[in-house]
Amino acid sequence: MSGRREYRKRQRQRRQSEKLTMLLKGSVAVAVVLVLVLTGVKIVSTVRNHKEQKQIEEALLQKQKAAAETPTIEATPAPTPAPKDKAVALTFDDGPSRDNDGTILETLQANGAHATFFVLGNRARVDGDIMQMITGAGCEIASHSWDHPQLSKLKWKKVKSQIDRTDKIVAKLLNGYEISLLRPPYGSISKTMRKKIKKPMILWSLDTEDWKSRNAKKVFNRVKKEVKDGDIILMHDIHPETAQAVKKIVPWLSEQGYDMLTVSELMARKGKNLEEGKAYLDAN
């Protein structure tokens, strides 16, 4: 009996051993399959990524080639308006004017126009920001003396002081700006001034008489009636009526074929060289 039991025991152990062996073989097989699958996926992925990368590189090369073959088109600058046949210089005396210059400059800029502002030194020193607006709009600053005396009745020392003080305050306010033109108050010039003043003196050929009428309509009508090519037009920016008249004068002049320039621009356009101590009524 004991021998039979021993035999059965060995048989059970052998069957268990065989089952364990089969399980181990199965696990190994599964593991091998998983490794193969994962390796295959990685290989496929690598191949696919390689193909995609190659396609991307080829596409970039095609774009670069096309860009190299495409002619470069340079931006064409906006054409500069051709000069008109006629031109005048707009001039404003007795400023700068905090109340009116903004309106005048806005009208000038809207119509591509410039002007010369003959300023008083004692007004310029308190309105430096207005002076910067004037030059920033492409307009010209010139001298109208320090405080508007009749220079022809003064001794030379005082005349020189009137001019020099104005030059210095403008240079200080405008980072070294050099005034090149003088308009003597009242247009009054002495022999001494002609000999000693180192600037051209600019008078006028068309007086709008805005100082007299203080009426925008009358100022406008005077310009319409009298203006001609090469004129230097006299106005005063201290009067609000003048600022209102400018709103009509500037676009009307443009419609009539006039360029509106600074005095220096007008003289250059007309080929007129300005000389020290000499007086000029117009550019003709």
Per-residue pLDDT of the chain (284 residues; tens, 9 = 90+): 455 555 555 556 566 555 545 554 555 454 544 444 445 544 444 445 555 556 656 655 665 555 455 444 444 454 556 677 899 999 999 999 999 999 999 999 999 999 999 999 999 999 999 999 999 999 999 999 999 999 999 999 999 999 999 999 999 999 999 999 999 999 999 999 999 999 999 999 999 999 999 999 999 999 999 999 999 999 999 999 999 999 999 999 999 999 999 999 999 999 999 999 999 999 99
Q: Would you say 219 and 210 are in contact if contact means Cβ atoms under 8 Å apart?
A: yes
Closest among 263, 230, 275, 217 to 93, alpha carbons compared: 263
Name the domain boundary from 56, 75, 94: 75
Domain-terminating residue out of 51, 75, 99: 75
> Of the listed 94, 114, 210, 236, which one is catalytic?
236
114 is catalytic: no
264 with 195, same domain: the answer is yes
- Tell me if residue 236 is catalytic: yes
Range of the domain at 48: 1-75
| CATH number of the domain that residue 97 is part of | 3.20.20.370
* Of residues 276, 254, 255, 273, the one with CA closest to residue 264: 273
> Out of 93, 127, 231, 259, which one is annotated catalytic?
93
For residue 137, the 8-state DSSP code is T
State the pTM of this model. Answer: 0.73
Q: How many of the other CB atoms lie within 10 Å of CB of 192? A: 14
**Is residue 92 within 8 Å of 117, Cβ to Cβ?**
yes
Residue 26: CB partners within 8 Å, gap ≥ 6?
none
